[in-house]
Structure 1
């Protein structure tokens, strides 16, 4: 497969990656905001409980404590959701990195194979000169590897 084809296929595969990352990060930010809002509620409930503990009935105290506990439970759920979302995001990026590694390995193998074919062709030519195709392939290979002439 030509160098351009590898690049084109890879770019096609990551076309939606920025949008998916942005969506996931926005969801994480939303979970953070919800958690902060709940922490504010917990603080106000705790202040209400501590400032009025002597005057509240047992049922009122129990009710406030249940509200605080429910808010903490909801915060934990939001945190768990955020961890799951972060793991999914990591796996999504990791999948693309592994694909890039695989494609690069295939590309390098193709280059080596073509280089060997080119060398075989050059050695059997009657003039003994390097073929134009082989020189061009080596140039493309060096450019792809970042080794410019």
Structure 2
């Protein structure tokens, strides 16, 4: 019965997952198509510029170069959006995997707790049999025998160790905070795995590369190039 409840609840939580995954994959495909269209435009404009560069005026050349650069920046933005979608998709699936781990841990804890409760129930059959024999053997001291049997029974129950419930050692929050796969790469200034929205440093030599929005004080993706605090500090030193 408990197994059916856990399974039903988990299947209910998965109901929206296929639609969400399909939506993200469609958005990533659209971003790919837009990027390919921009690449065609970039190639066309580049060929025209190279063939006409010597004949056109300097101000027109600068305008064409600027237009080509803008298209490249747009391609970069599409690529960044695609990376964000991929990370969100990963986080979606990972969330359900963690929930499954949590449900399994709670289910095992319930089973262990139930078995412990059954094993620690005091047995009264031997105490009753002993009390009956005492009554038969010691008719004159019936009241004393009854008191001794009751005291013995109370003492036996009092001395029975009370084992802690294993269910208390498992909770959904504990399982969600369990250490992740040690082989999974870490990122950001916090040296944690990827989760939520992240942004990549535009410095190709950045040793960290990816950062969580919250760790670098961002709430949305900034326009243009973005450099992490360490790379920005190094760039400022070089300028000086």
TM-score band, normalised by shorter chain: 0.7 to 0.9
Q: Which consecutive unaligned segments of at least 5 residues does structure 2 have? A: 126-240
Quick one: structure 1 residues 73 and 125, their matched pair in 2 at CA, closer, same or farther if it must change by over 3 Å?
farther
Corresponding residue for residue 203 of structure 2: none
| Cross-structure match for 1:39 | 39
- For 2:16 and 2:124, how far apart are their aligned partners in 1? 48
**Partner Cα distance (1:19, 1:98) in 2:** 20
Residue equivalent to 1:130 = none
Matched, 1:96 2:96: yes
Q: How does the TM-score come out when normalised to structure 1?
A: 0.77
Equivalences, count: 125
Q: Which ranges in structure 1 are unaligned for 5 or more consecutive residues?
A: 127-149
Residue 54 of structure 1 aligns to a residue whose secondary structure is coil
CA deviations 1:115-142 (Å, max 9, x no partner) are 3334456x9597xxxxxxxxxxxxxxxx
The 4+ residue runs of structure 1 with deviation greater than 6 A are: none
**What's the CA shift string for 1:59-116, capped at 9, x where partnerless?**
2211211110110010011111111111111111111111110001001111222233
Shift of 1:57: 1.5
- Tell me how large the CA RMSD over aligned residues is: 1.9
Q: Which residue of 1 aligns with 2:63?
A: 63
Structure 2 equivalent of residue 12 of structure 1: 12
Structure with greater contact order relative to length (CA < 8 Å, sep ≥ 6): 1
The structure richer in helix per residue is 1
| TM-score under structure 2 length normalisation | 0.49
Secondary structure of 2:54 counterpart: coil
